[in-house]
Structure 1
Amino acid sequence: MDVQEDVTQPDEYRPATAEADDHPAQQSGRSIMVQRRVEWSDTDASGHWHHGATLRWLEAAECLLLERLGVRHAIYHRLVRVHQEFDYHHVLQHMDVVDTHLQVERVSTTSITYRLRVTNQDRCCVSGRMVCVLLDPDTQKPTPWPDELRHHLEAPAALPPETLSSNWPQTGEPSNKRSTN
């Protein structure tokens, strides 16, 4: 079912594509990359990563993006998720290093659409989108993005990535390798 036709979803929480928009779409807004390792708690009984890890990595990237822009305290508690879609392309295993790439795809009147890619060694493992709506702090109703925040989000620039320490074993090196000295 197309989410735009779902009558159980209030109009104000429909994705950006259903929203009347006075602003032109910005196809390549701010972006950030956050690197994480697939932890044991990210795996399921099959030994592969659990899809729920994608949401944690996405939220970590979103929080860091907003923090680096200096707007996290102003809006993070006001953003509600209204639509998420993910396609899973490749399996990940415990201890794999993943890069979560998050980009502002579009800032509409009251919503923001993020584009997501999770990669492992330059191979796309997950691709997707998430739409959030900005709420008025008093009424808890959708509210238009203030121009200043819109400009921060729409600027076509990558922010500095957050990467893992180089102290971890390299790919292919057993993590339980012990020194013989």
Structure 2
Amino acid sequence: MSRLNPRASIERTVEWVDTDASGHQHNSAVMRWVESAEAELFLRTLQLPDYFPSVPRIHQEIHFKAKLWFGQGITATVGISKLGRTSMTYAFEIHGHPHGELPGGLAAFGTVTVAHVPPGFQKAQPWPAAVVDAVASARDE
């Protein structure tokens, strides 16, 4: 993840609602945490509030490496890995924090690709200059 720029992270605790009947994370919890980190990146880090109403997911891939348990802390990090003309791919990692006898470490990683489809359009359109400039500026830092 250190090569991805720009990037942002959030910290959460695995809540009961995030688990399945056996007490470890449900697979859908990972994407909720990733989307929270995505919001941190685009709303707060890059200050692009118009990003969200126009970015349908067109591909996502998750690799599960370890279980996360009820009450365990996690860190979700998202970083832009590719900005194309009409799409963007970002990579993510979910790390569990040490908890009781649990050692912590990488629990899941993957990618999400979104397309830029502004309201009123049916097909992907080029990214606005504000998005391209914000991503480029953050990469230069």
Task: Using structure 2 for the length normalisation, give the TM-score.
Answer: 0.86
Matched with 1:150 is 132
1:135 Cα deviation from its structure 2 partner: 0.5
1:49 Cα deviation from its structure 2 partner: 1.0
1:48 Cα deviation from its structure 2 partner: 1.1
Hey, what's the Cα distance between the residues in 1 that align with 2:63 and 2:24?
16
Matched with 2:105 is 123
1:153 Cα deviation from its structure 2 partner: 2.1
Q: Which has the higher strand share?
A: 2
Q: Does the 8 A contact of 1:31 with 1:157 survive in 2?
A: no
The answer to whether structure 1 residue 71 and structure 2 residue 54 are counterparts is no
Amino acid at match of 1:134: H
Q: Give the one of 4, 7, 14 matched to 1:38.
A: 14
Amino acid at match of 2:53: H
Identity of aligned residues (%): 29
Matched with 2:100 is none
**Higher alpha-carbon Rg:** 1
Amino acid at match of 1:39: E
Matched with 1:86 is 62
Amino acid at match of 1:111: S
Amino acid at match of 2:139: P
Q: Does the 8 A contact of 1:30 with 1:157 survive in 2?
A: no
Q: Give the one of 79, 93, 96 matched to 1:103.
A: 79
Amino acid at match of 2:32: R
Q: Does the 8 A contact of 2:9 with 2:40 survive in 1?
A: no
Amino acid at match of 1:31: R
1:157 Cα deviation from its structure 2 partner: 7.1
Give unmatched runs, 5+ long, in structure 1. Answer: 1-26, 159-181
RMSD: 1.7
Q: Which deviations, in whole Å up to 9, do the C-alpha atoms of 1:93-132 show, x marking residues without a partner?
A: 1010000010011100100101000001361100100000
1:56 Cα deviation from its structure 2 partner: 0.6
Q: Residues 112, 145 of structure 1: CA spacing in aligned structure 2 closer, same or farther, 3 A cutoff?
A: same
Amino acid at match of 2:47: G
Amino acid at match of 2:131: L
Task: Using structure 1 for the length normalisation, give the TM-score.
Answer: 0.68
